[in-house]
Amino acid sequence: MTKGLFDLSGKVTVITGGNSGLGLGFARGIAKQGGDLAILARNEEKNAAAKKELEAFGVRVTTHKVDVASEAEIVAGYQEVLKIHGRVDCVIANAGLPPPQTRSMLDLPSKEFQDFMNVSLNGAYYTLREGARVMVKRAEAGEPGGSLIFCGSLSMYKGLAGKPSYAGSKGAMGAIVRSMAVEFGKYGIRANSIAPGYVKTGMTGEGELSALDKFMLIKNAIPRPGYGADFEGVAAYLASDASSFHTGDTLVIDGGCMVML
């Protein structure tokens, strides 16, 4: 049987926060293409539910209780993954905090700013760094390649008053991902970001459209919110060999929000 263009058979993807929301959408995309998964997330109940759902696609799924605010837990998580799966081919740094309440940076306590950055910036950085470490070692042993993916947001492009920690973490990671693309390209490792638009997830609420939803959708060329299913394809593409010459980029998946500006 001919393999599909996005075939992920034999590949292992590590994804933080892959037990719900956008992360679960990314994970479904990987699983539907035959890729095995290692989910790093804190909530063991959600981990178990995601594992059960994803295993129905006939792939191997492991879950690891990891708090991405802890560098040590991330490193330990990778050690567990390698012990079980033996390899890492793709990493999706998806875990992060939802946008905090709107507040002027003049009134934002330094500790709140630092705590937010510790998860959404530092956690993503450590996640991709450790993934790169594994991939470089494998490349030096004669097997180049690998994909590093960061889940950003449109705040990487648009000014976002009142949410400096959220916008700052996304923008900083976008720059780091581009640096990774340059540094690790010689190993065949690519690094890209995904910038979702307005998406209905566990962070933004699910179900019927609220007044806020309807207001936000006025700004979309495609007049609906995004859903986890809309991100399955981009995850499969970036994880697969189909994207082997695609690096240093940010893929905007926003229903046409940016073109409406």
pLDDT in tens, 88-139: 999 999 998 888 889 999 999 999 999 999 999 999 999 999 999 999 999 9
Q: Would you say 182 and 167 are in contact if contact means Cβ atoms under 8 Å apart? A: no
Helix (H, G, I), strand (E, B) or coil at 97: coil
CATH no. of 12-253: 3.40.50.720
Q: Tell me: pLDDT of 242 over 60.
A: yes
| Mean pLDDT in residue range 166-178 | 97
* Mean pLDDT over each residue of the chain, to the nearest integer: 94
What is the phi/psi pair of residue 66, to 5°?
A: -140, 130
Question: What are the phi and psi torsion angles at 193 (to 5°)?
Answer: -115, 155
- Distances in Å between the Cα of 64 and the Cα atoms of 44, 78, 117 are 8, 9, 22
Encode pLDDT of 216-228 as tens digits: 778 899 988 999 9
Q: How many CB atoms lie within 10 A of CB 13?
A: 31
Task: Extract the tokens encoding 208.
Answer: 């019927």
pLDDT at 208 over 70: no
Query: What's the confidence (pLDDT) of residue 76?
Result: 98
- Binned at pLDDT 50, 70 and 90, residue 213 comes out as confident
* Residues written for the chain: 261
Instruction: Give the pLDDT of residue 65.
Output: 98
Residue 71 has pLDDT above 60, yes or no: yes
Any idea which of 108-117, 209-218, 249-258 has the lowest mean pLDDT?
A: 209-218
Task: Please report the pLDDT score of residue 203 as a whole number.
Answer: 52
Q: What's the pLDDT tens digit per position in 2-55?
A: 579 999 999 999 999 999 999 999 999 999 999 999 999 999 999 999 999 999
Nearest by Cα to 134 from 14, 6, 8, 247: 14
Give me the pLDDT at residue 1, please.
Answer: 47
